[in-house]
Structure 1
Amino acid sequence: MPGATALRSRIEEVFAADGVLSRAAPYTPRQGQLDMATAIGETITTGGVLVVEAGTGVGKTFAYLVPALLSGERVLLSTATKTLQDQLFGRDLPGLLQALGLPLRTALLKGRASYLCLHRMERARWDVDLGDRAALLALASVEQWSRTTHSGDLAELPDLDERSPLIPLVTSTRDNCLGAQCPQFRNCHVNLARREALAADVVVVNHHLVFADLAVRESGVAELLPTVRIAIFDEAHQLNEIGVQFLGLQLGTGQLLDFARDTLAAGLQQARGLVDWQHVVARLEHATRELRLLAGQRGANTARINWTGAAPDGLPEAEWRDALQSVCDSLRHAAEALAMVSELSPDFVRLHERALVWMERSQGFLAAGDAGAVRWLDVGGAQLRLMASPLDIADAVQARLLGTGEAAAAKSWVFTSATLGDDAQLRWFTESCGLVGARTLRVDSPFDYATQAALYVPDDIARPADPGHSAQVAAFAAQAVQRLRGRTMVLTTTLRALRTIGDALKSHFEASGGIEVLVQGQWPKRRLMARFRQGNADGQPGCVLVASASFWEGVDIPGDALQLVIIDKLPFPPPNDPLVEARAQRAESQGKKPFMDYFVPEAAVALKQGAGRLIRRESDRGVLVVCDTRLTKMGYGRRLRAALPPMKLLTTQAEFQQSLDALRGPDEEALPTRPSTTAALWP
């Protein structure tokens, strides 16, 4: 590795006005990008932990890639989603390596569910309903592709819906993988990806895989981490929430029913007549469904139910324990049946191991919970998950990720994102991730927000607690969308608001045909984004997209396709969520004020993420609307506004309308106004 001075000099040369980047492609030097790259270079040289908040437009990807690649050290790059992972591996890394002239070997490593399992594909025809022509055609397409793919990465199949029920049938999990006993072990795509990762100079992974492997000490990232000296986590603001999913325990009815299906398929194929497989599986399926039905007595089809006592809130203790014990007993019965035939096939050996794991886990949920964890039921549709997790990942990061000793101290760790807190020390991130002593750096966005963007808070919309709030947001959005001819994203904080606003806008625009209303869930996310980016090009009507959850971040729509972002209300964490409630109680026990020290920082980070969808390039212009008067009328609203980029504040409805008119092209006119299906807010 070059010395500190030499590395800094090379970094400065790359980012210079006449440097490598400017010669490879159109490039504008940014001081913030150079500052970030220099700080990362220093951390690479000295070792330690650096936390960097880099505003939108800084160019943080190249800011961390350049010093990492120039160091000559082995590098692990982790990002939040598989989509960003593919972008980093397929676009950013190859282009930069070519520009730098570095012959480094790169590898992409994802979780098992991203790769085709050849063994399970061969068995899939036993599981696919022969009467379902669509499923058979999809399986045939996968089989044809399997003969030509090198990686086995299902991302190579753009026509395969990520929600397809076929995917679990042709991929493996840690639970059903046969390992070295698999007849396809030599050709396994997961093992091939891991071997390539261990041989590469730069490996691109994702946060889910990092924590999944660390939690169970499975080969993959856990095997890779000791061999790298530089680890960089992009989109690091998601680390805590992703990590707690894997560092606790969970038992899901979907997992149990998958196990039952796999047991029946293997039993009928390879040991028919030796065991009454129908009875074994029927007993487990009945116990599993009874447990789900019991949880449904709470009346919630989609909810998190707190679980602080012997049984979840609102459920009779005796009935709950009996139902959970019945699941445990049916798993024990299945384990005994599988043990009888385990010598016939490695499938039965693995199924037996799975039965024991689920039995042990169900017994664990029958016992009292750990003092340092929180338990809850996650109820969604036909599925039920029993959850137990730590409140944050601080201890796990220190013990399992960073490690101790001289070797650990010599490593370099970089955590970066556009949003890591609303204070100079970035405590929102560093405290939950166990990085309190880390060096921190904040790099502001180079965008001229005062010129490019404006903020408007309507003062005539009901308070969020009012039952009519979502309807009024929908009416407001309808009028704004008509004036702007689409180009609008409505971000909601709840799925209920998503449905209410989406339905109202569809009803409003279905007759006119001038606007296409897109609602999260109607299509796969990739298809929704493709249509929204198209906008009114090629004779298409303009678009408004109503979305929640994952659309608050990681959505990049530069240019005129998106010029208005409407947020229905301030994104405070739901106070009745078990994890949120436990964290608030912990803050109070530490002498803090839960609202100001927990809820407000959480809302500030989420609000900043949502607002970040608006301005993505130096030429972008737009308006952010927050339909929540608490942002301007409550004392904590000043803190939330300070977390937002320094946009111009619009104070009247007339100013807002003028801003929309200014965003339209010179030859465009607003769509004709028609009566709204909800109470109109504009004259």
Structure 2
Amino acid sequence: MSQLQYSEFATEILSNIKNQQVGLAESEPSIDRTLGYLTAAEKVIGENPNERILITVASKNSLKLPALGEKIRPAILKERFSYVCLRKFYNCINNADIYLTPEERINFFALITWIEKTKDGDLSEILHYSRTPILWKKTACEAGSCLGAECEHFSTCHFQKAKKNAENSNLLLVLHNLFLQDMQMDFAILPHSEKIVFDNAHALPLKSQKTFGKHLYFYALRNSVKQNAWCKKWEAQAAESEKLFLSLMKEIQSYSQNVKKRKITYNQSLSAETGISPEALQNSLRNLLEIIERTSSEFYAQNEIGKAKDCMQFSSDIRKISSDLAFFFAASNSEFVYWLECPSNPHQVTLNAEPISISAKWKALYSNLKSAFFTSETISINGRFDYFVSRLALYGKNMKSKIFSGDAGIEVFAAEFLPKPSEEKFSEELTKTLCEIISKNTTNTLIFTDMASISKLQAEIKKDEALQSKTCFFQGVDGNFFNLIGFFQKESGNVLIGTSDELKFLEEMELPENSLIVIARLPFPDLKEPVISRRMEILKEQGKNGFTLITMPETSFTLRSAYSAISRSGKKQTLLLLDSRIISELYGAKIQSLFPNFKTLSHRVFSTGFFDKP
């Protein structure tokens, strides 16, 4: 990154904040955006230390602040559920036989060592929520079970310290998820900020859609019940509720099998749609609530405030499950898309609802701001910000946009010699080409294709002794894609094959130098995905072109994000696109212009010199 690029980027943000504008800035990976917006924030706060600037980022890896000027009062705030609750932690130590299962006691030993060393009490330093969700809930800070100033650990509470620091800060750093939860709760979580910088802004539309939606599955109840197994008074009723919940999920799964659909969109009462009633489960949940609340009152009367508050958190969980269940079965909000996802395991059946548009929430935000600055490596398409602007309802704002170009980046090739994916010979020719790539490429190869192609490729490799000498990892066969990344990175020449859905993991990967990344087909969005499907229907009703207004922008963002993630390694890498429509179709020109180093790859070059390393 040149000093000029960095200086221009910082100046752009400074101008945006001082002039109270909405700013959009895209930069290449070589430009240090973090340093740019922190430099601008330092200057603004230096002139007025009572100003607060809020910065939101996409991942925990970005929740870091360097040493800053003496007038800066920096703070980092995470979701409350991220922090350990010391009261609950010591409850587990002092009453392990009541609060912990034998297996949890083994895992808990790691927390005992960690608690003495941790600086901010973030449970993710020691636990993985996806692997130990119940132990996490048993030790995490939750609003319903918090004693506040009455807690004996209040003065040393990590969350209370972080919250106080945030309230006293003039530079606050948070994750997108926490900021969006604050928006969802009408700005009741975070301290008031009128000047905001959104880094990694490309992630905001999808994260907003997920956060503003609702999702319910069986483990929402089971995990809450297991967390509260310490009290036997509700054990029988909780078991009945679990049984009825699972029975309901099995009924939904059976309906899914009858209509031969794993994903079912609906827009009327779910009972009317399926003939399934949640009444028995709702009655059971009401009975469970009565027992929990009665037990809570008994604990209050006995002055066992901690147990009483734990009961209140449990009742809050049950109320939310009951409320969400009613919401899904009513399906009465026309601003949402409702759907069921029904895999083969009934425990994993989910009820889902997400907003068709996220613009209303974002519009409500802008009226409370003096300035907002959105920055990322990928928020424009072919030099225009229109799609991002429309998704976040930025039209009509005092807006300024700019693109900061950096280094030229990686080489991008598109093969012109394969049939189109719609043609009969495509599958066979694609498998043959992928086998040739695996055979000839001596460095690491990362392939993104569809599940059918993965199966065919694996079958071909089993037939070919030369290919069997290659170390190949297949998503779905050898494990999930995320867990296979570490094995892929260990040795040069390894091959990892996954679906196009896993392109998102490129942002988190450390690619070995000279890796070849292959994308077999253009990553068009799944038009059966319920929210996108509904948005396409609305455009059709309006006489507008969904391919131009949704399909192409979404595809372009996916490819740009992949390109930026690969470029971010700072190493020599190559991106190979095997979809010949990039060359043959009219819209292909727009795909080509996404990449500064785009080249067409002929079969002659592919077969002769493409794999020769300089």
Q: TM-score, normalising length from structure 1?
A: 0.77
Which residue, 529, 545, 554 being the options, matches 1:593? 545
Partner of 2:523: 571
Partner of 1:267: 231
Partner of 1:80: 58
Is the alpha carbon distance of 1:215 and 1:448 closer, same or farther for their aligned partners in structure 2, counting shifts above 3 Å? closer
1:402 counterpart = 2:366 = yes
Partner of 1:448: 408
168-177 or 327-336, larger mean C-alpha shift: 168-177
Q: Distance in 1 between matches of 2:477 and 2:176?
A: 24
* CA apart distance, 1:192: 2.4
Whether the 8 Å contact between 1:306 and 1:376 is mirrored in structure 2 is: yes
Whether the 8 Å contact between 1:120 and 1:169 is mirrored in structure 2 is: no
* CA apart distance, 1:66: 1.8
Q: Distance in 1 between matches of 2:176 and 2:580?
A: 36
Report Cα offsets for 1:381-416 as digits up to 9, x if no partner.
Answer: 5223322221232110121x3234xxx3xx221111
* CA apart distance, 1:581: 0.9
Partner of 2:209: 244
Whether the 8 Å contact between 1:215 and 1:247 is mirrored in structure 2 is: yes
The total of aligned residue pairs comes to: 590
Is the alpha carbon distance of 1:369 and 1:346 closer, same or farther for their aligned partners in structure 2, counting shifts above 3 Å? same
SS of 1:645's partner is coil
* CA apart distance, 1:138: 2.0
SS of 2:352's partner is strand
Partner of 2:78: 110
Partner of 2:10: 37
Q: Distance in 2 between matches of 1:282 and 1:366?
A: 23
Consecutive unaligned residues in structure 1, runs of 5 or more: 1-26, 269-274, 664-683
Is the alpha carbon distance of 1:607 and 1:77 closer, same or farther for their aligned partners in structure 2, counting shifts above 3 Å? same
Partner of 2:613: 662
RMSD over equivalenced CA pairs, Å: 3.5
Equivalent residues in 2 for 1:195-274, closer than 5 Å: 195-217=164-186, 222-224=189-191, 226=192, 228-263=193-228, 265-268=229-232
Q: Distance in 1 between matches of 2:459 and 2:135?
A: 31
Equivalent residues in 2 for 1:533-682, closer than 5 Å: 533-536=489-492, 542-544=494-496, 546=498, 548-549=500-501, 551-552=503-504, 555=507, 561-616=513-568, 620-655=571-606, 657-662=608-613
Whichever residue aligns with residue 379 of structure 2, its letter is L
Q: Distance in 2 between matches of 1:74 and 1:197?
A: 10
Is the alpha carbon distance of 1:233 and 1:502 closer, same or farther for their aligned partners in structure 2, counting shifts above 3 Å? farther
Whichever residue aligns with residue 628 of structure 1, its letter is D
* CA apart distance, 1:648: 2.3
Among all aligned residue pairs of Structure 1 and Structure 2, give the percentage whose two residues are the same amino acid: 21
Q: Distance in 1 between matches of 2:388 and 2:441?
A: 37
Partner of 1:151: 120
Consecutive unaligned residues in structure 2, runs of 5 or more: 46-50, 300-307
Is the alpha carbon distance of 1:523 and 1:444 closer, same or farther for their aligned partners in structure 2, counting shifts above 3 Å? farther
* CA apart distance, 1:556: 6.2
Whichever residue aligns with residue 267 of structure 2, its letter is T
Whichever residue aligns with residue 211 of structure 1, its letter is L
Q: Distance in 1 between matches of 2:391 and 2:144?
A: 33
Whether the 8 Å contact between 1:420 and 1:605 is mirrored in structure 2 is: yes
Q: Distance in 1 between matches of 2:123 and 2:458?
A: 31
Is the alpha carbon distance of 1:387 and 1:648 closer, same or farther for their aligned partners in structure 2, counting shifts above 3 Å? same
Q: Distance in 2 between matches of 1:484 and 1:69?
A: 48
Which residue, 118, 123, 131 being the options, matches 1:163? 131
Whether the 8 Å contact between 1:456 and 1:623 is mirrored in structure 2 is: no
SS of 1:489's partner is strand
Whether the 8 Å contact between 1:564 and 1:625 is mirrored in structure 2 is: yes
Whichever residue aligns with residue 362 of structure 1, its letter is L
1:390 counterpart = 2:349 = no
Whether the 8 Å contact between 1:240 and 1:392 is mirrored in structure 2 is: no
Q: TM-score, normalising length from structure 2?
A: 0.85
Is the alpha carbon distance of 1:218 and 1:44 closer, same or farther for their aligned partners in structure 2, counting shifts above 3 Å? closer
Whichever residue aligns with residue 591 of structure 1, its letter is G
Whichever residue aligns with residue 292 of structure 2, its letter is L
Partner of 1:11: none
Which residue, 482, 486, 491 being the options, matches 2:439? 482
Q: Distance in 2 between matches of 1:504 and 1:328?
A: 52
523-532 or 633-642, larger mean C-alpha shift: 523-532
Partner of 1:420: 379
* CA apart distance, 1:147: 3.0
1:337 counterpart = 2:291 = yes
Partner of 2:282: 328
* CA apart distance, 1:574: 1.0
Whether the 8 Å contact between 2:471 and 2:494 is mirrored in structure 1 is: yes
* CA apart distance, 1:419: 1.3
* CA apart distance, 1:239: 0.6
Looking at both structures, which has the greater relative contact order when contacts are Cα pairs under 8 Å and sequence separation is at least 6? 2
Whether the 8 Å contact between 1:535 and 1:543 is mirrored in structure 2 is: no
Is the alpha carbon distance of 1:417 and 1:174 closer, same or farther for their aligned partners in structure 2, counting shifts above 3 Å? same
Is the alpha carbon distance of 1:167 and 1:507 closer, same or farther for their aligned partners in structure 2, counting shifts above 3 Å? farther
Whether the 8 Å contact between 1:488 and 1:543 is mirrored in structure 2 is: yes
SS of 1:460's partner is coil
Whichever residue aligns with residue 522 of structure 2, its letter is L
Report Cα offsets for 1:333-364 as digits up to 9, x if no partner.
Answer: 11111222121122223322333333233223
Q: Distance in 2 between matches of 1:598 and 1:66?
A: 36
